[in-house]
Amino acid sequence: MTGGDNAIRELVVAGGGITGWSAAAALRRRLPGLKVTIVPVPPPADALADRIASTLPSILEFHRDLGLTDADAIVRAGSSFRLGTCFTGWAEDLPAYIHAYGEYGRPFGTASFHLHWIRAARRAAAAAFDSHSPAAAIAKAGRFVQPQGEEGSPLAGFEYGLQLNLARYGEMMRAYARHLGVAERCAGIAEVRLRGADGFIDALRLDDGSELGGHLFVDCTGPAALLRSALDPAFESWERWLPCDRLLLAESPPLPEPTALDTVTAMAAGWRWQAGSAIRTSHGLVYSSAHMRDDEAAATLQEAAGTGVTGGPVPIRAGRRVQPWLRNCVAVGDAAVAMEPLEWGNLHLAHSAIDRIVSMMPDRDCGAVELWDYNRQAEAEADRMRDFLTLHYAVSRRPEPFWQEAASVEPPASLAHTLSLFRERGRLPIYEEETFSRDSWLAVLLGQGVIPERTDPLIETVPPNQADQAMAKMRETIAAIVPTLPTHAAYLRNLSRQFAR
Amino acid sequence: MELGEVVNIVVVGGGTAGWMTASALVKLLPERCTVHLVESEAIGIVGVGEATLPHIRAFNEKLGINEADFMSRTRATFKLGIEFRNWARIGDSYIHPFGTFGSGQGEIDFHQYWLRMQHEGVDVPPLEQFSTACMIARLNRFDLPSTDPQRLDSTFGYAYQFDANLFAPYLRKLAEELGAKRTEGRIVAVHRDGESGDVESVELESGERITGDLFVDCSGFVSLLLGKALGEPFQDWSKWLPADTAVAMPCRTETAVTPYTSAIAMDSGWRWRIPLQHRTGNGYVYPSAFLADEDAAEALVGAVEGDPIAGPRFLRFKAGRRERSWVHNVVGVGLAAGFLEPLESTSIYLIQAAITALLELFPEKGISDTDRDEFNRLVDLEYDRIRDFLIIHYKCTERDDTEFWNYVRTMDIPDSLEEKLDLFRRRGRVVKYREGCFLDASWIAVYLGQRVFPHGHDMRADAPPTDALARDMAVLHKEIRATAERMPDHVGRIQSYCPMATAA
């Protein structure tokens, strides 16, 4: 057996939101012989990984590794699909753009597609960048289809995320975890008791007077990080780059034909979103309290959503814990990284942390080199997410003071490097632990009008008119295929019927 | 049409680096540059790197080179990996394969299951026998890999072993047909702009001055532009990689034309064996502080299998790289930029990496600092990771039979490598990188081959019951063996695919 008597056998998960139950289920299911006990303290309002319904495509991979079927995790849990996000008003002089999870164009000649597009854009001869993305076009038309066909065919090169029905999804994950044998201890956490010798967590004292010991403690309790913060408080703030520090939520009845495209609209001091599903339409407003009062924000959201605001403003303190894993305690989700939900990465980072724990499970001594490698990856991943979110502000173009300030802040060095390389010649450097693909970066950069100063010499073997024709052909192919696809709503209805049978 | 400026490029030095650079530039950026290569036939080429890594195939493909024609003309053989003999202990032999272990499927790396069986004391065959590439190699067979990822014969890649003295002329022909200009002559002076410090021209013995916008220094160890003219400092890595001399001597092939290169540890270094179609390349790489040249030559003559085709030839070098490869308007490619001993056949790979970065960051006449810095970052990364990979072979040994092995076994190593080693020792995990030339399977093969044995393994490998896992492994073992045995003989495959041209 692994490491003999030193193997981790008893694991405690704290936190009863989606993050906590997902962690408990995955660790129980994917690591053999592990006893998993969860203390399902209710997630606080600011645990965004537990509270934001829009997810990235990686959730489907997470389900597959867990052994969850689409029938359970999508249909019966009342989820619908997301192909991407439509960004409106982020660069005021430009039309809205779509960030979809898929290919933008196909490479031709010896170079990547976007280099051809940039050359055309510099001649003012380019159609919108997102008009070369099948997924964006499908989403925009209110249609949906799961990816299919051979690699290279128009319907093969994209992915989709989910729009969760949070309550039902949480229940489903809890039921599944219980089914797998996760033990539940329903009590509050009164004290985190540390071992004198090495500062490891010895046990949790619960508010029913009992104690719960374990070899490893997984903290999914939200930004307060009830367990992990008992070990050290070190936190790296991102507030200077991600200036929004408040969130308001609202809900309205579902639209008759909800699309697989949510919208994110820039506002005077932040942004708001609208995301549809078969059950409801979710709304949110993310703003900077330095630039907008809470009552103004509530009024703004109410007007946009046509419905009252749910609950009060939720604080967001953007940043990450310096070492998410310290001694025998690992922070997951908002306990490790807190950030505004722009681009819907909160739950994704939680899933990624869970996967990483599964694949890097150390011995009980939580050896320094293994934790070093875990933290190196987790920190890099969080920083790359920070960069992608910061990008939206750094290349925004709006007149309001909030936006002017956001665009003038010196970006983190890694993002500054990306921007300078991209502005120079359309090149994107490769970093470790990147969540978003190159096409995602391009969708935002080009969508917000960052046109490189030079065209890349590698495309010169293809004359511009030939490239123009190839691009036009791609758009025609997309335009021909989109009307043949079912609407998102029809697709969902059909799927439910199929699984109901 | 928006036309970029045409950049006039001067390539200083022929040889493998020079002609690879020239041919790639004229082929891939025909509108954007002119290429003028200056070389002197009086200066020999080093011609190391007869053994390559699989990346070379992508280079050839981009250049539109027909594989069979290329192999025939450079008298090439196929290469599935590198055999290391006598490294951790005298009598040991392992192969670093260009391929994965196991079926290449599944959630966790195959070696984790293998480690688990070892930890449980279950008798399973050596890890090497679970690599299709290794098994084909050991049986001296070869066939091109399948593209169906479900099949075992898709789990490997391959490279070539070829005559480096024929590769440069092969590329020269291609480059000249595409418009590269060549001037014969020895460079006697380098002229720089007094203000900017950029190189303006190189002056030949004849008095002719060749001007350009960008100079690619492929002058070899002498590093005529980057090192000499611009004085870019050299980062010396010889405390970790102390070998500074090689003595080379080709011979007739008496034993097998193996589809792999061999690196055989010697008393004070190691010896390469690279079988080509018409001969076998041999050489002894050693530190002169530990071994005299005549003793090295004698040891080599005693070790090679057939009659020597040429007398022993000595090469001097130093491990390390220039602080920066691109300074002002000079880009160093190949030995002019740095040197790492050919233990893992990385010389041509490093040339290719520099060329790829240059193509992707191809400048205009006014070179931007952003591009230059990015080029240097990319190239440095390659050198540094390969350096760590090479050091493992020396550091992780149990040999204490000579002064040399005692030195390398006890030397300090870079922190970056300490971390990697510690991580592997704990439970067989490899630090993952997106960039860098060696994939996980390479590190795993070398760690285990060097007897770095992990204390633990991935907990997920404990999932299947022992007897079920043992059964599955036995089935896989048999299938891998059968896959290898179905393949044709290596020499036979060469004969049918790319026999050497009689008049090369």
Q: A39 in helix, strand or coil?
A: strand
* Segment holding A137, helix H or strand E: helix A134-140
Q: Say if residue A351's pLDDT is above 90.
A: yes
Give the separation between CA A114 and CA A119, rounded to whole angstroms.
9
Give the separation between CA A366 and CA A361, rounded to whole angstroms.
9
A118, A461 contact by CB (below 8 A): no
pLDDT at A2: 43
Per the listing, tokens 């046990």 go with A203
DSSP secondary structure code for residue B308 in this structure: B
The answer as to whether B275 is a domain residue is no
Domain extent at residue B355: 7-77+162-235+320-385
Residue B32 to residue A30, Cβ atoms within 8 A: no
Residue B370 to residue A7, Cβ atoms within 8 A: no
Q: What is the mean pLDDT of residues A250-274?
A: 95
Q: What is the mean pLDDT of residues A252-277?
A: 95
Give the closest residue to B477 by CA, choosing from B131, B116, B58: B131
Longest dimension (CA), chain A: 76
Amino acid at A473: K
Residue A335: phi and psi, rounded to 5, are -65, -25
Domain limits, chain A: 4-53+165-233+318-366, 82-163+385-484, 246-315
B7 forms beta bridges with B33
Q: Say if residue A165's pLDDT is above 90.
A: yes
pLDDT at B34: 96
Please give, rounded to a whole number of angstroms, the shortest distance from the CA of A459 to a CA of chain B. Answer: 8
Instruction: Convert B404-457 into a string of H (helix), E (strand) and C (coil).
Output: HHHHHHHCCCCHHHHHHHHHHHHHCCCCCCCCCCCCHHHHHHHHHHCCCCCCCC
pLDDT at A206: 98
Please give, rounded to a whole number of angstroms, the shortest distance from the CA of B35 to a CA of chain A. Answer: 15
The answer as to whether B113 is a domain residue is no
B336 touches chain A (CB under 8 A): no
A56, A348 contact by CB (below 8 A): yes
Residue B274: phi and psi, rounded to 5, are -125, 105
B305 touches chain A (CB under 8 A): no
Weakest mean pLDDT among A91-100, A422-431, B203-212, B264-273: A422-431
Q: Say if residue A83's pLDDT is above 70.
A: yes
Give the separation between CA A171 and CA A177, rounded to whole angstroms.
10
Query: What's the structural domain count of chain B?
Result: 1
A320 forms beta bridges with A236, A337
- Tokens found for residue A162: 């989910």
Q: How many residues does chain B have?
A: 504
Query: Count H helices, E strands: chain B?
Result: 14, 21
- Tokens found for residue B9: 């490029």
Q: Which of A1, A122, A454 sits opposite B364 (nearest CB)?
A: A454
Residue A501's pLDDT band (boundaries 50, 70, 90)? low
The answer as to whether B406 is a domain residue is no
Q: B18 in helix, strand or coil?
A: helix
A33, B462 contact by CB (below 8 A): yes
Q: B78 in helix, strand or coil?
A: strand
Give the separation between CA B199 and CA B399, rounded to whole angstroms.
49
Give the separation between CA A85 and CA A87, rounded to whole angstroms.
6
B234, B227 contact by CB (below 8 A): yes
Give the closest residue to A285 by CA, choosing from A324, A232, A239, A341: A341
A10, A218 contact by CB (below 8 A): no
Q: What is the CATH number of the domain that holds B376?
A: 3.50.50.60
Q: Say if residue A306's pLDDT is above 60.
A: yes
- Tokens found for residue B425: 């020792």
pLDDT at A4: 56
Give the separation between CA B193 and CA B231, rounded to whole angstroms.
15
**Cβ atoms within 10 A of the Cβ of B147, count?**
8
- Residue of chain A whose Cα is closest to the Cα of B367: A424
Q: Which residues of A309-338 are buried (b: 16+ CB within 10 A; e: fewer)?
A: beeebbebebbbbebbbbbbbbbbbbbbbb
Q: A436 in helix, strand or coil?
A: coil
Q: B377 in helix, strand or coil?
A: helix
Supply the mean pLDDT for chain A.
95
Give the separation between CA A456 and CA A121, rounded to whole angstroms.
13
Give the domain A4-53+165-233+318-366 fold. FAD/NAD(P)-binding domain (3.50.50)
Please give, rounded to a whole number of angstroms, the shortest distance from the CA of A44 to a CA of chain B. Answer: 33
Instruction: Convert A11-28 into a string of H (helix), E (strand) and C (coil).
Output: EEEECCCHHHHHHHHHHH
Close Cβ partners of A478 (under 8 Å, ≥ 6 residues apart) = A131, A132, A133, A134, A137, A154
B4, B207 contact by CB (below 8 A): no
**Cβ atoms within 10 A of the Cβ of B485, count?**
11
pLDDT at B105: 79
Q: Say if residue A432's pLDDT is above 90.
A: no
Close Cβ partners of A252 (under 8 Å, ≥ 6 residues apart) = A280, A281, A283, A305, A306, A307
B176, B166 contact by CB (below 8 A): no
Give the separation between CA A377 and CA A369, rounded to whole angstroms.
12
Close Cβ partners of A295 (under 8 Å, ≥ 6 residues apart) = none
* Segment holding B83, helix H or strand E: strand B81-85
Strand order in the sheet with B187-192: B187-192, B199-204, B209-211
Q: Say if residue A1's pLDDT is above 50.
A: no
Amino acid at B297: A
Q: How many CA atoms are closer than 13 Å to the CA of B153, on its beta-carbon side?
A: 15
Give the domain A82-163+385-484 fold. FAD/NAD(P)-binding domain (3.50.50)
Q: Is B420 a catalytic residue?
A: no
Residue B419 to residue A369, Cβ atoms within 8 A: yes
Residue B1 to residue A358, Cβ atoms within 8 A: no
Give the separation between CA B8 and CA B33, rounded to whole angstroms.
6
- Tokens found for residue A71: 């029938």
Q: Which of B32, B426, B460 sits opposite A370 (nearest CB)?
A: B426
B368 touches chain A (CB under 8 A): yes
Q: A2 in helix, strand or coil?
A: coil
DSSP secondary structure code for residue A91 in this structure: B
Please give, rounded to a whole number of angstroms, the shortest distance from the CA of A458 to a CA of chain B. Answer: 6
Give the closest residue to A425 by CA, choosing from A389, A397, A452, A444: A452
Predicted TM-score of the model (pTM): 0.92
Give the separation between CA B485 and CA B475, rounded to whole angstroms.
15
The answer as to whether B37 is a domain residue is yes
Strands (E), A224-324: 235-237, 246-252, 261-267, 270-276, 281-287, 309-315, 319-321
**Of B27, B62, B79, B173, which is the active-site residue?**
B79
Percentage of chain A beyond pLDDT 90 is 88
Q: Say if residue A152's pLDDT is above 70.
A: yes
The answer as to whether B482 is a domain residue is no
Q: How many CA atoms are closer than 13 Å to the CA of A314, on its beta-carbon side?
A: 26
Instruction: Enumerate the residues of chain B whose CB falls inside 8 A of the CB of residue A374.
Output: none
The answer as to whether B381 is a domain residue is yes
Give the separation between CA B111 and CA B131, rounded to whole angstroms.
10
Tell me which residues of chain A have a C-beta less than 8 Å from any C-beta of chain B. Answer: 1-3, 7-8, 30-34, 65, 110, 119, 122-123, 358-363, 367, 369-370, 372-373, 377, 420-421, 424-425, 427, 429-432, 454-458, 460-461, 463-464
Give the separation between CA A219 and CA A224, rounded to whole angstroms.
10
Strand order in the sheet with B320-322: B234-236, B320-322, B338-339
The answer as to whether B377 is a domain residue is yes
β-pair type (A189-194, A201-206): antiparallel
- Tokens found for residue B432: 């993952």
Q: What is the pLDDT of residues A230-243, one digit of tens each?
A: 999 999 999 999 99
Q: Which of A123, A369, A464 sits opposite B426 (nearest CB)?
A: A369
Instruction: Enumerate the residues of chain A whose CB falls inside 8 A of the CB of residue B1.
Output: 463-464
Give the closest residue to B7 by CA, choosing from B27, B31, B43: B31
Instruction: Enumerate the residues of chain B whose CB falls inside 8 A of the CB of residue A464.
Output: 1-2
Q: Say if residue A379's pLDDT is above 50.
A: yes
Residue A2 to residue B30, Cβ atoms within 8 A: no
Asked if the interface predicted TM-score (ipTM) of this complex is over 0.90, the answer is no
Residue A430's pLDDT band (boundaries 50, 70, 90)? confident
Q: What is the pLDDT of residues A167-192, one digit of tens each?
A: 999 999 999 999 999 999 999 999 99
Give the separation between CA A361 and CA A219, rounded to whole angstroms.
15
Gyration radius from chain A CA atoms:
23
Amino acid at B275: P
Q: How many CA atoms are closer than 13 Å to the CA of A142, on its beta-carbon side?
A: 8
Give the closest residue to A439 by CA, choosing from A162, A112, A176: A112
pLDDT at B46: 63
Show pLDDT as tens, one digit a residue, over chain B (504 residues): 345 689 999 999 999 999 999 999 999 999 899 999 999 987 776 655 578 999 999 999 999 999 999 999 999 999 999 999 999 999 999 999 999 999 987 889 999 999 999 999 999 999 999 999 999 999 999 999 999 989 999 999 999 999 988 999 999 999 999 999 999 999 999 999 999 999 999 999 999 999 999 999 999 999 999 999 999 999 999 999 999 999 999 999 888 999 999 999 999 999 999 999 999 999 999 999 999 999 999 999 999 988 898 889 999 999 999 999 999 999 999 999 999 999 999 999 999 999 999 998 998 888 888 889 999 999 999 999 999 999 999 999 999 999 999 999 999 999 989 999 999 999 999 987 766 678 889 999 999 999 999 999 999 999 999 999 999 999 999 999 999 999 999 999 999 999 997 654
pLDDT at A96: 98
The answer as to whether B221 is a domain residue is yes
Residue A424 to residue B426, Cβ atoms within 8 A: no
Please give, rounded to a whole number of angstroms, the shortest distance from the CA of B369 to a CA of chain A. Answer: 10
Q: Say if residue A195's pLDDT is above 60.
A: yes
